[in-house]
Amino acid sequence: MKKFWIILLTLGISLIISQGAFKEPDSITAVMLGRKLFFDPILSRNGKISCASCHKEEFAFSDTSPISLGVHNRKGVRNTPSAMNMRLQVAFFWDGRATTLEQQALIPLQNPIEMDLALATAISRLQNNAYYKKAFQSVFHSVPNANNLAKAIASFERTLETSDSPFDDWRMNDNEDAVSESAKRGFAIFNGKGRCIQCHFGPDFNDVEFRSIGLYDAKTLQDSGRACVTKKKTDLGRFKIGALRNIAITAPYMHNGMFKTLRQVIDYYNDPDKIVPHSINRDTLLNTPMGLSEQEKIDLESFLVSLTDKRFASKN
């Protein structure tokens, strides 16, 4: 119920902003300020890239490219995940190198591949911008600085929660007509034969642990994931288990965007060895094929599609 009210508040704020209300800097909240910053290219070196350039709102704040392009079309190294449903997360980025949204908010700004702007320069730009200088004073009673910049962006990101999907109507509101029979069978597969529930659970269908699903072989797949942060061999190929809400509209998938469709993802999990035969450190959960039939694969995908929030219904 708490998450439901958060969503209502978020939608109300978005409506207010879209209608052009409260544009004066002395009339905005931290969330509104954070949203403006999220969409403003002022925080990139060339003034052409914003957070929203890679986190596209219409695609659940994810990107449609396997790897996003930053300033001067510099190619990144990993797929851009959705920025939605982060409120309950305890680690950020595929390798978990940030432990709070505030830490996460400032890293892309300074990444030379992404926004390529020194933090000191970003703060100077905001302090010399009449609108932002007044807005930060209004919201935080201070001039722009690294701390309140991170707080503003994180405040906006914490409102990007969704829990108004057909699946929620079915399970939370007992509306048997909200999802298809195929989706209902898919949910049973998700919790049973598919073994998905062992890594994807809770309100957002994610996990706080890092797992290796077999997409590291030190040859063609060389991103070592969590090991980049911890330097531990046991973390080779391990990545954050992301939330599954709105997963149907956040393609392509995986940390490298190697799968274009949900069906490709399901086919991979069904028998990983067929696609990556010599993976290193793959989780034992995936040591044996699932043995899903064609109909079971269809049903599992139907369930995943049912997790799409109604605000994105036209994308399905």
Collapse the DSSP code of 132 into the 3-class scheme (helix H, G, I; strand E, B; otherwise coil) and give the result: helix
Instruction: Mark residue 55 as left, alpha or beta (left: phi above 0; alpha: psi -120 to 50; beta: remaining).
Output: beta
CA 119, CA 209: separation in Å to the nearest integer? 30
What's the longest Cα–Cα distance across the chain?
A: 61
Query: 228 is written with which tokens?
Result: 């980049």
Nearest one of 99, 44, 98 to 68, comparing CA atoms = 44
Q: Give me the half-sphere count of Cα atoms (radius 13 Å) on the Cβ side of residue 111.
A: 20
Contact assessment for residue 254 and residue 79, using Cβ atoms and an 8 Å cutoff: yes
228 carries a ligand binding annotation: no
CA 316, CA 17: separation in Å to the nearest integer? 26
Q: What is the DSSP string of 1-12?
A: -HHHHHHHHHHH
Query: 29 is written with which tokens?
Result: 């909240």
For residue 142, what are the CA distances in angstroms to 37, 127, 158? 16, 10, 22
Contact assessment for residue 126 and residue 144, using Cβ atoms and an 8 Å cutoff: yes
Phi and psi at residue 98, to the nearest 5°: -120, 140
Phi and psi at residue 183, to the nearest 5°: -65, -40
Nearest one of 291, 82, 285, 295 to 196, comparing CA atoms = 285
Q: Which residues pair with 201 in a beta bridge?
A: 206
CA 44, CA 72: separation in Å to the nearest integer? 11
Collapse the DSSP code of 239 into the 3-class scheme (helix H, G, I; strand E, B; otherwise coil) and give the result: strand
Q: Residues comprising the binding site for heme c?
A: 51, 54-55, 196, 199-200
Q: Residues comprising the binding site?
A: 51, 54-55, 196, 199-200
